[in-house]
Amino acid sequence: MIAHDYLIANDVCSSGKHYPLEFRRFIKEEDCKDKNIPFKDPTQLFIELIDWTVAKKIPGDFVFDSYYTNAKPLNVGLM
Protein backbone atom coordinates (compact mmCIF):
# COMPACT_ATOMS: atom_id res chain seq x y z
CA MET A 1 0.00 0.00 0.00
CA ILE A 2 2.19 2.78 -1.31
CA ALA A 3 -0.39 5.48 -0.49
CA HIS A 4 0.55 5.19 3.18
CA ASP A 5 4.21 5.83 2.42
CA TYR A 6 3.88 9.58 1.83
CA LEU A 7 3.89 12.48 4.28
CA ILE A 8 2.65 15.65 2.58
CA ALA A 9 2.69 19.29 3.62
CA ASN A 10 -0.42 20.97 2.20
CA ASP A 11 -1.58 24.55 2.06
CA VAL A 12 -5.32 24.58 2.70
CA CYS A 13 -7.22 27.66 1.50
CA SER A 14 -10.30 29.04 3.21
CA SER A 15 -12.29 27.47 0.35
CA GLY A 16 -11.07 24.07 1.53
CA LYS A 17 -8.90 23.45 -1.54
CA HIS A 18 -5.62 21.66 -0.77
CA TYR A 19 -2.36 22.54 -2.50
CA PRO A 20 0.53 20.14 -1.89
CA LEU A 21 3.73 22.02 -1.07
CA GLU A 22 6.30 19.35 -0.26
CA PHE A 23 6.42 15.65 0.57
CA ARG A 24 8.59 12.92 2.02
CA ARG A 25 8.32 9.23 1.19
CA PHE A 26 8.71 6.67 3.94
CA ILE A 27 10.92 3.75 2.93
CA LYS A 28 11.05 0.63 5.08
CA GLU A 29 14.29 0.04 6.94
CA GLU A 30 15.08 -3.19 5.09
CA ASP A 31 14.54 -1.45 1.73
CA CYS A 32 16.89 1.35 2.81
CA LYS A 33 19.55 -1.24 3.61
CA ASP A 34 19.05 -2.87 0.19
CA LYS A 35 19.38 0.54 -1.53
CA ASN A 36 22.23 1.66 0.75
CA ILE A 37 20.42 4.83 1.83
CA PRO A 38 19.93 6.16 5.37
CA PHE A 39 16.74 5.05 7.10
CA LYS A 40 14.36 7.75 8.39
CA ASP A 41 11.33 6.85 10.46
CA PRO A 42 7.99 8.65 9.93
CA THR A 43 8.67 10.98 12.86
CA GLN A 44 11.97 12.12 11.33
CA LEU A 45 10.23 12.75 8.00
CA PHE A 46 7.46 14.68 9.77
CA ILE A 47 10.03 16.88 11.50
CA GLU A 48 11.78 17.50 8.16
CA LEU A 49 8.48 18.75 6.70
CA ILE A 50 7.86 21.03 9.69
CA ASP A 51 11.40 22.42 9.41
CA TRP A 52 10.96 22.91 5.65
CA THR A 53 7.69 24.80 6.17
CA VAL A 54 9.19 27.05 8.85
CA ALA A 55 12.31 27.73 6.73
CA LYS A 56 10.08 28.80 3.81
CA LYS A 57 8.16 31.09 6.21
CA ILE A 58 4.83 29.69 5.06
CA PRO A 59 2.12 31.28 7.23
CA GLY A 60 -0.63 29.33 8.93
CA ASP A 61 -1.29 26.68 11.50
CA PHE A 62 -0.05 23.11 11.62
CA VAL A 63 -2.61 20.32 11.64
CA PHE A 64 -1.43 16.74 11.85
CA ASP A 65 -2.37 13.20 12.79
CA SER A 66 -2.33 12.28 16.48
CA TYR A 67 0.42 9.75 15.68
CA TYR A 68 2.85 12.69 15.83
CA THR A 69 1.72 14.01 19.23
CA ASN A 70 4.70 12.68 21.13
CA ALA A 71 7.64 14.47 22.73
CA LYS A 72 10.10 14.39 19.83
CA PRO A 73 8.03 16.25 17.19
CA LEU A 74 6.24 18.50 19.68
CA ASN A 75 9.55 19.75 21.11
CA VAL A 76 11.45 20.21 17.85
CA GLY A 77 12.19 23.89 18.39
CA LEU A 78 13.40 23.22 21.90
CA MET A 79 15.98 20.53 21.08
| Model confidence pLDDT, tens digit, residues 10-69 | 998 888 898 999 999 999 999 999 999 999 999 999 999 999 999 999 888 888 888 888
Q: What is the pTM of this model?
A: 0.82
- The residue range of the domain holding 57 is 2-78
Amino acid, res. 46: F
Please state, as a whole number, how many other Cβ atoms lie within 10 Å of the Cβ of residue 24.
Answer: 19
- Residue 20 backbone dihedrals phi, psi, to 5 degrees: -65, 135
- Report d(CA 70, CA 56) in Å as an integer: 24
| Tally of domains in the chain | 1
- Report d(CA 50, CA 55) in Å as an integer: 9
- Report d(CA 25, CA 44) in Å as an integer: 11
